[in-house]
Chain A
Amino acid sequence: GNSVTQMEGPVTLSEEAFLTINCTYTATGYPSLFWYVQYPGEGLQLLLKATKADDKGSNKGFEATYRKETTSFHLEKGSVQVSDSAVYFCALSDHGSSNTGKLIFGQGTTLQVKP
């Protein structure tokens, strides 16, 4: 079945460091891919998405490119801030559900940014 695998955390970086959080997926067909962010004590917010191969999603300085050849959707940011400290979830849409918003999530990666 479909699945998502993320790099284990926590990831601890200094402010202004470069961030990469790896995400790979297994899926049949052509799923859409998402990164969600969960700030402490809050629900999930969509950070960015990509709907087809070679698409690049971007938001708030974060980027991720849909790589079908490597089945990956790695999240990157050139210069992190303390306010980026959160848990990041990679997810794919389960197209077996006729594109309804039903998602399969990776295990989440905790990012801690220190001043």
Chain B
Amino acid sequence: SAVISQKPSRDICQRGTSLTIQCQVDSQVTMMFWYRQQPGQSLTLIATANQGSEATYESGFVIDKFPISRPNLTFSTLTVSNMSPEDSSIYLCSVGYRGLNTEAFFGQGTRLTVV
């Protein structure tokens, strides 16, 4: 298993500003992902964070809005840029290990409110 620390745990931000969320894992992991959970909704994958290269984004998400970094095997950041109230969500970092039948492990999430 993995212990995942996300910071901040919550924040209230003004529209038009940006917020960077950090995800730190206690061990080297193969894969890191970022999900969004809008109020009352399920989890939607934003992107896969790739070490040392550009993230792989899912349909509907773009790098300009959600830039992601992953400088090493234990750390990643997600930035929510030029925020609007529609960006109010919980953002979750998830990690996985390449192999057979592996589950994903999740951080506690960052609860973002944009006003």
Q: Which residues of A contact B (CB under 8 A)?
A: 32, 34, 36, 42-46, 49, 51, 89, 93, 97-103, 105-108
Contacts and interface: CB of A to CB of B under 8 A. Distances in A.
Given A34-B103, A43-B107, A93-B102, A100 B42 contact: no
Nearest to B1: A46
Interface string B83-97: 000000000101111
Contacts of A103: 43, 45, 94, 104
B101 A32 contact: yes
A101 B106 contact: no
Given A42-B108, A43-B109, A89-B43, A100 B30 contact: yes
Given A101-B33, A101-B96, A103-B43, 6 more contacts: A43-B6, A44-B43, A89-B43, A93-B102, A101-B31, A107-B42
A44 to B, nearest CB: 4
Contacts of B53: none
A36 B45 CA distance: 16
Given A99-B99, A99-B100, A46 B105 contact: yes
